[in-house]
């Protein structure tokens, strides 16, 4: 028996890059947070402390900012692909890379009804995300793109039931035919190609997710999530699987009868913790293997 180094990676996390496009008076803005991680045979760095094969995380940081100029960040996926490929292709000991990018959206401030040229307000709502995984050198190189969103908070005030469930000696929950359903969505979808109209794909998938949430009469959050994932897969041939993780943010109708007031699902206490947590993957039965992109998952 001996003690050995197992899986490892290292990089620079959460580089907060703001990129302004100012080729005309009408500026554009991209606001991203970038995390790089490099993989390869770094045994010496760990065991003897020899750093000869280690490209510093400080260098990775410089590269993250430099690539925001060199290749730009109009869309986060091609930026992440270029960055990941650079690290693997141009650094001899690096055999793989994982690049994660969060994007915060902004919109133009309106002044007198006209969108302003160079003033913006943070849009709030969800964070767009991508994780690009590059594995291998030259002809053996694979690239996966898993994109997604998180912190998209949705609620429906009716059209949600929960009944007919399994019971045991610890069950006290009553069935309900009408409840508030609310969640903060985290969704990732894995593309089968790197040839995608990224911005359009994101907008389309986001639209399907919220439309399905709104439209499906829900018998359980599980069912709603499945229909959301299914809607995405039906619309896009280039998506192999959709992972959804959704806390069930409980809204408890407040007992107002004690005070002589009716509460017909009008006044709720929105509780913080504990919360239900429903996690599901919806996939094609002939989906290609996820490879190391499979590590990017809600199930940790």
129-158 positions binding a copy of itself, by CB under 8 A: 152-158
Q: How far is the CB of 196 from a copy of itself (least distance, A)?
A: 19
Q: Is the peptide bond before 274 cis (omega within 30 degrees of 0)?
A: yes
Q: Is 156 a catalytic residue?
A: no
Based on the shown chain and the rule CB under 8 A, indicate whether residue 74 belongs to the binding site for a copy of itself.
no
Nearest to 66 by CA among 85, 54, 79, 81: 79
Closest approach of a copy of itself to the CB of residue 87, in Å: 10
Which residue's CB is nearer to a copy of itself, number 197 or number 266? 266
- CB of residue 278 to a copy of itself, shortest distance in Å: 5
Catalytic residue flag (residue 123): no
Q: Residue 57 catalytic?
A: yes
Nearest approach in angstroms of CB 198 to a copy of itself is 20
Residues 36-55 that bind a copy of itself (CB under 8 A): 37, 42, 45-55
| Contact (CB, 8 A) for 11 and 57 | yes
- Only one of the segments 25-33, 77-85, 138-146, 197-205 lies at the binding site for a copy of itself (rule: CB under 8 A); that segment is 25-33
Q: Kindly tell me which of 140 and 172 has the beta carbon lying closer to a copy of itself.
A: 172
Q: Which residue among the candidates 57, 59, 184, 192 is catalytic per the annotation?
A: 57
Q: 291-295 long-range contacts, Cβ below 8 Å, gap at least 24? A: 291/133, 291/135, 291/142, 291/144, 292/96, 292/98, 292/133, 292/135, 292/142, 292/144, 293/131, 293/133, 293/144, 293/146, 293/190, 295/133
For the bound state, the minimum distance from the C-beta of residue 201 to a copy of itself, rounded and expressed in Å, comes to 18
How far is 80 from 201, CA to CA, in rounded Å?
A: 16
DSSP tag of 62: H
Q: What is the token pair recorded at 55? A: 């490209």
> 53 vs 194, which CB is nearer to a copy of itself?
53
Contact range with a copy of itself by CB under 8 A, out of 8-16, 75-83, 135-143, 197-205:
8-16
Distance between CA atoms of residues 61 and 36, nearest Å: 8
Q: Tell me the CA distances in angstroms from 101 to 15, 17, 92, 114, 284, one per residue in order.
A: 9, 10, 24, 31, 26
Contacts to a copy of itself from residues 77-116, by CB under 8 A: 90-91, 93, 106, 109-112, 116
Q: How far is CA 89 from CA 34, 95, 97, 156, 227, in A?
A: 19, 8, 10, 48, 40
Please identify which residue in the block is written with the tokens 């590590």.
Answer: 295
From the list 81, 145, 282, 293, which residue makes contact with a copy of itself (rule: CB under 8 A)?
A: 282
**Rounded distance, CA 83 to CA 19, Å?**
16
Binding mask 178-217 for a copy of itself (x = CB under 8 A): --x-----------------------------xx-xxx--
Residue 93 vs 136, nearer CB to a copy of itself: 93
Q: Which of 24, 139, 170, 177 binds a copy of itself (CB under 8 A)?
A: 170
Number of residues lying near a copy of itself (CB under 8 A) = 145
**135 neighbors 96 (Cβ within 8 angstroms):** yes
Residues with catalytic roles: 12, 57, 250
């Amino acid at each position: 028996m001996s003690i050995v180094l197992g899986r490892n990676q290292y990089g620079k996390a959460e580089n907060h890059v703001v990129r302004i496009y100012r080729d005309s008076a009408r500026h554009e803005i991209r606001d991203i947070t970038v995390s790089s991680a490099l993989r390869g045979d770094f045994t010496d760095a760990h065991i003897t402390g020899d750093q000869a094969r280690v490209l510093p995380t400080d260098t990775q940081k410089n590269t993250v900012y430099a690539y925001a100029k060199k290749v730009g960040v109009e869309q986060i996926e091609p930026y992440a692909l270029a960055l990941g490929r650079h690290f693997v292709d141009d650094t001899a000991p690096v055999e793989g890379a994982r690049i994660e990018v969060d994007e915060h959206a902004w919109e133009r401030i309106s002044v007198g009804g006209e969108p302003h040229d160079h003033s913006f307000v943070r849009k709030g709502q969800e964070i767009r995300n991508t994780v690009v995984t590059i594995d291998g050198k030259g002809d053996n190189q694979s690239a996966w793109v898993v994109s997604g969103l998180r912190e998209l908070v949705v609620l429906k005030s009716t059209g949600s039931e929960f009944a007919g469930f399994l019971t045991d000696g610890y069950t006290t929950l009553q069935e309900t035919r009408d409840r508030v359903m609310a969640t903060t969505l985290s969704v990732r979808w894995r593309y089968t190609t790197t040839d995608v109209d990224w911005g359009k794909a994101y907008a389309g998938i986001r639209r399907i997710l919220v439309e399905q949430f709104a439209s499906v009469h829900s018998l359980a959050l599980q069912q709603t999530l499945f229909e959301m994932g299914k809607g995405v897969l039906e619309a896009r041939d280039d998506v192999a699987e959709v992972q959804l993780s959704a806390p069930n943010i409980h809204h408890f109708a407040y007992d107002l009868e004690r005070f002589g007031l009716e509460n017909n699902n009008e006044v709720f206490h929105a509780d913080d913790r504990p919360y239900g947590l429903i996690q599901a993957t919806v996939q094609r039965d002939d989906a290609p293997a996820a490879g190391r992109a499979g590590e990017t998952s809600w199930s940790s």
